[in-house]
Amino acid sequence: MPWRNTKDPYKIWVSEIMLQQTRVDTVIPYYERFIERFESVLELANAQTEEVYKYWQGLGYYRRADNLHKGAQMVAFKYGGKFPKDPKEAKEINGIGPYTLGAVLSIAFGVEIPAVDGNVMRVLSRQFLIEEDIAKAKSRKIFEEKVMQLIGEDASSFNQGLMELGAMICTPLNPKCTLCPMKSLCQGYKKQKVENYPVKSKKEKSKIYEYKVLIIKKEDTYWLEKRPNQGLLANLWGFPLIEKEKWEQYRYLEEKAIHLPQTKHIFTHRVWEMEPIIIEEQELLDIKKELKLKKLFMNQNGGYFTNEEIDLLPIGTAFMKVVKEKRDHVERGKR
């Protein structure tokens, strides 16, 4: 992994933020592209948010990019571009939670501090038959204490070893126990109880939200708007999204619309089920002979864009699926 050959806290930080909620093999090309463009914390701090989003596009969970960017500005302007080594200072940086704090400080500077994430909790719970429910936030403390009992002078190697063990060997399903360098010490393996660990309560069921997505067309351009700076997909671009119940009263508008296949996007605790339609702007204006519908569906921060311009916008991952459906539809029309 490219971030394992460096002691540069900035690069370790970027990799750890990208790896949250995202698989290693997905992250590698994004990490390489990001670091090539934003080589140092100063480069990132001085970049425009839109460009940072562009390099994040496809990784999802854009709040991570936003925090990383703001955090880089803090390191650049408050600490003169040097990532602080002191945990008290470092944990004040945007987006640095206890795991990232531990990973960056231990790997880059050798600070003896735990870096406990889901992988590490899984390894330790199997090794020591720890019964704490890893889905509960308060359990982290128990695992951090365990790490502190075990960590030696080389905190960097210790934490990285645990992380790698969790990612490559002690996987959630079918752990490779026979290949594991820790098997002679692992109580779960010795007592054949690996399957029972970690203890993890079931996640709450995701809530489903149904939306009509309006792809409003004007000649060869399409309306996209910037989302508010709070909430899901904040500051990213997307199409107008109307809740299905609210849409009912406007369903008559669909008469002349083109229906695209339904798409779905899964967030951490919610699912968006989206039904995109392509509708000419004229239809919104003609039916009421006034601007009411336009005002209702299109926010102030929007504009009409060509396909080429859409490619350059930082678009929320959920909307990328709609963009793809729209593009496929246009391509089919050309054939």
Cis peptide upstream of residue 98 (ω within 30 degrees of 0): no
Q: Are 66 and 37 in contact (CB under 8 A)?
A: no
Written as one letter, the residue type at 151 is: I
Active site (annotated) includes residue 16: yes
Least distance between ligand SF4 and beta carbon 188 (Å): 5
Least distance between ligand SF4 and beta carbon 196 (Å): 11
Is residue 177 a contact point for ligand SF4 (CB under 6 A)? Answer: yes
Stretch that binds ligand SF4, among 52-60, 121-129, 206-214, 233-241 (CB under 6 A): 121-129
The contact pattern for ligand SF4, residues 237-276, with x = CB under 6 A and - = no contact, is ----------------------------------------
Is residue 194 a contact point for ligand SF4 (CB under 6 A)? Answer: yes
Closer Cβ to ligand SF4, 169 or 258, answer by number: 169
Is residue 169 a contact point for ligand SF4 (CB under 6 A)? Answer: yes
276 alpha carbon, distance to own chain's centre: 24
Is residue 158 a contact point for ligand SF4 (CB under 6 A)? Answer: no
Closer Cβ to ligand SF4, 167 or 271, answer by number: 167
DSSP, residue by residue, 99-134: HHHHHHHHHHH--------HHHHHHHHHHHT--SBT
Least distance between ligand SF4 and beta carbon 120 (Å): 11
Is residue 123 a contact point for ligand SF4 (CB under 6 A)? Answer: yes
Token pair recorded at residue 289: 């002979």
- Residue 324: count other Cβ atoms within 10 Å of its Cβ: 12
Stretch that binds ligand SF4, among 29-37, 76-84, 177-185, 243-251 (CB under 6 A): 177-185
Least distance between ligand SF4 and beta carbon 272 (Å): 36
Task: Tell me which residues in 128-157 interact with ligand SF4 (CB under 6 A).
Answer: none
Is residue 188 a contact point for ligand SF4 (CB under 6 A)? Answer: yes
Least distance between ligand SF4 and beta carbon 164 (Å): 12
Closer Cβ to ligand SF4, 143 or 319, answer by number: 143
- End-to-end CA distance of the chain: give it in Å, rounded: 43
Which residue, chain included where needed, has tokens 């190697």?
A: 157
Calculate the alpha carbon distances from 255 to 155, 223, 252, 333 in Å: 65, 20, 6, 19
CA distance 195 to 35: 39
CA distance 186 to 128: 7
Is residue 119 a contact point for ligand SF4 (CB under 6 A)? Answer: no
Query: Minimal CA–CA distance to 31: which of 56, 52, 50?
Result: 56
CA distance 284 to 295: 10
CA distance 242 to 323: 17
CA distance 334 to 220: 13
Could you give phi then psi for residue 312, rounded to 5 degrees? -95, -5
Closer Cβ to ligand SF4, 164 or 254, answer by number: 164
Among 61, 158, 189, 211, binds ligand SF4 (CB under 6 A): 189
Q: Exposure of 219 by Cβ count < 10 A (0-12 exposed, 13-18 middle, 19+ buried)?
A: exposed
Is residue 170 a contact point for ligand SF4 (CB under 6 A)? Answer: yes
Cis peptide upstream of residue 84 (ω within 30 degrees of 0): no
Is residue 198 a contact point for ligand SF4 (CB under 6 A)? Answer: no
Give the number of residues in contact with ligand SF4, rule: CB under 6 A: 15
Among 63, 85, 183, 244, binds ligand SF4 (CB under 6 A): 183
Among 74, 129, 182, 320, binds ligand SF4 (CB under 6 A): 182
Is residue 127 a contact point for ligand SF4 (CB under 6 A)? Answer: yes
- Provide the binding-site residues for ligand SF4, judged by CB under 6 A: 123, 126-127, 169-170, 175-177, 180, 182-183, 186, 188-189, 194
Cite the active site residues: 16
